[in-house]
């Protein structure tokens, strides 16, 4: 194994988090995330405001990442940045900044697919974590994506199932909005769910092909259910918030687990890894832990800080590409709909 120093700076700006991290041979030296609070009052990410906030944050965030890693920018070996998928205006800030920095420092530039990074975050060296063995199945669950990916090697990935409408993070956030909770509501549903009865209110699971997902119907059934109940009792939400959240979370988690079971059956692969912001959810983390004993799976759950959007995951992909000599040209462009 190559143990000589290899400092890679990762930069992430695909949505509403401006993030920078420094990695050295799989070990994260710093991982800085500036979350943009501005979107909370609008109940969702406002693209125009996101790109402006990235412009403001990117220089201080990168400085802080270098300072925390205790290195100077001249010691960097390469710059890795998110080239997509994501919001175009947000991606452009990180892309242009990274190009300029790599040109200024005279070091290679590496483009990184955000969804690939959520999967390869498992190769960050962290205490108590063992990386998944190839081939494995990755369930990528975020505010923008819901996919089951067959991962044969670092850069050999095949999407075998995906959502036909909303992403699972949207299902959490839109349900939370119906309950009057602020954006992003996913973590709040999770918090209340931990005190509630998951079987209190049954919600239907949408029927689509075995490996695909659909979440738009769930949002509608939550809406109709809340309208019906609040018509009878205006305080229904505040009186039953824990049970409502537990029931929504239970429906979503068991739906995700059903799809994983189908994927294991189809591929014969029992090595499972999750990635993306929703993998911070306590319900899915517990269900996956239980699956080890129940179904004989080997499950991999990333450390909390590598689940939601972060730059350490961009830096690890940068490092893997750097060691294989895979670099970007200076005319590389951001792509809002970049595929895996
Ligand atoms: O990966 P991510 O940080 O950004 C995207 O690329 O989308 O994921 C953000 C999504 C949001 O929808 C947020 O509500 C959800 O992840 N999320 C959660 C939890 N933490 C974050 N959803 C459910 N439970 C959580 N604990
Ligand atoms: Zn993400």
Query: Residue ranges of the domains in the chain?
Result: 7-122+307-323, 130-301
Q: What are the DSSP E strand ranges found in the chain?
A: 7-12, 17-24, 27-35, 78-84, 109-113, 136-141, 146-153, 156-162, 271-275, 298-300
CB-based burial of residue 99 (10 Å sphere; 0-12 exposed, 13-18 middle, 19+ buried)?
middle
The pLDDT mean for the chain works out to: 96
Q: What is the pLDDT of residue 2?
A: 52
In whole angstroms, give the CA distance from residue 120 to residue 261: 22
Q: Residue 143 C-alpha to ligand 2 middle, in angstroms?
A: 7
Q: Is the pLDDT of residue 3 over 70?
A: no
pLDDT at 89: 97
- Whether 37 shows a pLDDT value over 90: the answer reads no
d(CA 295, CA 260): 11
Ligand 1 pocket test, candidate residues 33, 94, 186, 302, most atoms within 8 A of CB = 186
How confident is the model over 112-145, as pLDDT tens digits?
Answer: 999 999 999 999 999 888 999 999 999 999 998 8
How many CB atoms within 10 Å of residue 335? 16
- Which atom of ligand 1 sits closest to the CA of residue 143? 7
Asked whether residue 61 carries a pLDDT value surpassing 60, the answer given is yes
CA of 140 to the centre of ligand 2 (A): 9
Closest ligand 1 atom to 184 CA: 14
Protein residue with its CA nearest to atom 23 in ligand 1: 186
Q: What is the pLDDT of residues 231-268, one digit of tens each?
A: 999 999 999 999 999 999 999 999 999 999 999 999 99
pLDDT above 60 for 187: yes
Q: Please state, for a pLDDT cut of 70, what percent of the chain lies above it.
A: 99
Q: Which of 17, 185, 277 for a ligand 1 pocket mutation test, highest count of atoms within 8 Å of Cβ? A: 277
What is the number of the ligand closest to the CA of 39?
Answer: 1
What are the Cα distances from residue 25, in Å, to 22, 78, 171? Answer: 10, 13, 37
Q: Work out the average pLDDT over 304-332.
A: 96
208, pLDDT greater than 80: yes
Measure the CA–CA gap between 57 and 19, rounded to whole angstroms.
9
Position 70 confidence tier, pLDDT thresholds 50, 70, 90? very high
Ligand 1 pocket at CB < 6 A: 15, 142-144, 169, 172-173, 184, 186-187, 190, 276-278, 280-281, 308-309
Give the separation between CA 231 and CA 34, rounded to whole angstroms.
Answer: 41
Rounded Cα gap, residues 120 and 323, in angstroms: 15
Among left, alpha and beta (phi > 0; psi -120 to 50; other), residue 325 is left
Average pLDDT (5-14) is 98
What value does the mean pLDDT take over residues 83-93? Answer: 97
Q: Whose CA is nearest to atom 16 of ligand 1?
A: 277
Q: What average pLDDT does this structure show over 311-325?
A: 98
Q: Does the pLDDT at position 42 exceed 90? A: no
Of all protein residues, the one whose alpha carbon is nearest to atom 2 of ligand 1 is 277
> Is the confidence at residue 298, as pLDDT, over 70?
yes
Q: How far is the CA of 6 from the centre of ligand 1 (A)?
A: 31
Q: What whole-number distance in Å separates Cα of residue 124 and Cα of residue 303?
A: 10
Cα–Cα distance measured from residue 114 to residue 149, given in angstroms and rounded to the nearest whole number: 14
Measuring from atom 1 of ligand 1, which residue has the nearest CA?
Answer: 277
Q: Are 148 and 161 in contact (CB under 8 A)?
A: yes
Say yes or no to pLDDT of 175 above 60. Answer: yes
CA of 75 to the centre of ligand 1 (A): 34
The domain covering 7-122+307-323 belongs, at the CATH homologous superfamily level, to ATPase, nucleotide binding domain (3.30.420.40)
CATH C-level class of 130-301: alpha beta
Element containing residue 65 per DSSP (H, E) = helix 47-69
Q: Whose CA is nearest to atom 13 of ligand 1?
A: 186
Best substitution site from 113, 308, 310, 313 to test ligand 1's pocket, by max atoms within 8 Å of Cβ? 308
Instruction: Indicate the pLDDT class of residue 79, thresholds 50, 70 and 90.
Output: very high
pLDDT range class, residue 38, cuts 50, 70, 90:
confident
pLDDT mean over 278-292: 97
Q: Please tell me the distance between residue 297's alpha carbon and the centre of ligand 1 in angstroms.
A: 24
Predicted confidence at residue 46, as pLDDT, reads 84
pLDDT of residue 35: 85
Percent of the chain with pLDDT over 90: 91
Q: How far away, in angstroms, is 14 Cα from ligand 2 center? A: 8
Prediction pTM value? 0.94
Query: What is the CA(228)–ligand 2 centre distance, in A?
Result: 34
Ligand 1: residue whose CA is nearest its atom 10? 143
Note whether 7-122+307-323 and 130-301 share their fold. Answer: yes
Answer whether 111's CB lies under 8 Å from 334's CB. Answer: no
Pocket-testing residue among 178, 250, 278, ligand 1, by greatest number of atoms within 8 A of Cβ: 278
């Amino acid at each position: 194994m190559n143990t000589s120093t290899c400092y890679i700076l990762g930069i992430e700006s695909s949505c509403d988090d401006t993030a920078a991290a420094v990695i050295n041979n799989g070990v994260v030296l710093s991982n800085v995330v500036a979350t943009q609070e501005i979107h909370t009052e609008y109940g969702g990410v406002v693209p125009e405001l996101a790109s402006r906030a990235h412009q403001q944050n990117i220089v201080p965030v990168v400085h802080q990442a270098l300072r925390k890693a205790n290195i100077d920018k001249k010691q960097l070996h390469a710059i890795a940045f998110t080239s997509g998928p994501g919001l175009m205006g947000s991606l452009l800030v990180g892309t242009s900044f990274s190009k300029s920095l790599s040109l200024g420092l005279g070091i290679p530039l590496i483009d990184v697919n955000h969804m690939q990074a959520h999967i390869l975050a498992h190769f960050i060296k962290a205490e108590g974590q063992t990386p998944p063995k190839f081939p494995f199945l990755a369930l990528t669950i975020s505010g923008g994506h819901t996919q089951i990916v067959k991962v044969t090697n670092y850069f050999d990935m095949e999407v075998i199932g995906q959502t036909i409408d909303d992403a699972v993070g949207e299902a959490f956030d839109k349900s939370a909005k119906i309950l009057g909770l602020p954006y992003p509501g996913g973590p709040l549903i999770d918090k209340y769910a931990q005190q509630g009865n998951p079987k209190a209110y049954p919600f239907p699971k949408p029927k689509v092909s075995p490996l695909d997902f659909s979440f738009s119907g769930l949002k509608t059934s939550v809406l109709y259910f809340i309208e019906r109940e609040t018509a009878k009792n205006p305080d229904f939400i505040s009186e039953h918030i824990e049970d409502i959240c537990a029931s929504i979370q239970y429906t979503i988690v068991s739906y995700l687990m059903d799809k994983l079971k189908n994927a294991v059956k189809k591929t014969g692969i029992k090595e499972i890894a999750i990635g993306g912001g929703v993998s911070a959810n306590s319900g899915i983390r517990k269900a996956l832990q239980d699956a080890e004993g129940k179904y004989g799976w080997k499950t991999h759950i990333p450390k909390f800080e590598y689940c939601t959007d972060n730059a350490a995951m961009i830096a690890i992909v940068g490092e893997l590409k750097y060691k294989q000599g895979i670099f970007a040209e200076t005319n590389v462009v951001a792509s809002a709909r970049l595929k895996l």
